[in-house]
Amino acid sequence: DTEVTQTPKHLVMGMTNKKSLKCEQHMGHRAMYWYKQKAKKPPELMFVYSYEKLSINESVPSRFSPECPNSSLLNLHLHALQPEDSALYLCASSQIERLQQYFGPGTRLTVL
Amino acid sequence: KNEVEQSPQNLTAQEGEFITINCSYSVGISALHWLQQHPGGGIVSLFMLSSGKKKHGRLIATINIQEKHSSLHITASHPRDSAVYICAVIGDDKIIFGKGTRLHILP
């Protein structure tokens, strides 16, 4: 299995909703990443987990809360988002940090 | 000045043409990614290289560490190669993305 999967593909939520994005890989990778990508811009790194521990938090607002319950799963919990948080959220994984990353298809999030 | 610069920003070419996309960077790196992103959004990692040259099918990537420059070449381009190509460098503690090159291959 050489795939990174993300669910859901699309998500529409209100500013008061609580939702979660999920990312899964079964390649035995020990580093996992969350990126945010606005239209026609490159991805922006949000969080890095290395061996299930938060390694990098790029000053992301607390309304985004990552969680890594085990080495295959990465969640991003969303609460009280703003319309400007609407974007494509990409998950990636690599064997360890700083090696080649494999990307999921992304979740397209719209905040109303 | 951006730490990673790609050129050109946009490129339209005819099917069959040889394509070159360039990436220059100003920071010390351990490796460089070339990524492909189709309109649907998913990103495919094409190459990761830290020296020399790599080839996969019609794609060739080269890097010159001394000159801090990498190129991605596509031979015999095809409309299905139309996508955004992104260069990303891996530094000591972060990954830095270029702004991407939007490639459109006309049939």
Band the pLDDT of A2: cuts 50, 70, 90: low
Chain A positions contacting chain B at CB under 8 Å are 37, 41-45, 56, 88, 90, 92, 98-106, 108
Nearest CA in chain B to A101: B45
Closest-CA residue of chain B to A58: B94
Identify the weakest region by mean pLDDT among A26-35, A92-101, B78-87, B88-97.
Answer: B88-97
Q: Determine contact, residues B105/B15, Cβ cutoff 8 Å.
A: yes
CA dihedral (B46, B21, A87, A97) in degrees, to 10, reads 40
Find out whether B31 and B40 touch, Cβ atoms under 8 Å: no
Residue A100 to residue B99, Cβ atoms within 8 A: no
pLDDT at residue B41, as a whole number: 76
Could B42 and A99 be called an inter-chain contact, meaning their C-beta atoms sit closer than 8 Å? no
Mean pLDDT of chain A: 93
Q: Is the pLDDT of residue B1 over 70?
A: no
Q: How many residues does this entry show for chain B?
A: 107
User: Would the CB atoms of A43 and B90 count as touching at under 8 Å?
Assistant: no
Give the Cα separation of A72 and A56 in Å (integer).
18
Which residue of B lies nearest to A33 if distances are taken between CA atoms? B95
CA distance A104 to chain B (A): 6
pLDDT in tens, B37-90: 988 778 999 999 999 999 999 999 999 999 999 999 999 999 999 999 999 998
Mean pLDDT of A23-36: 96
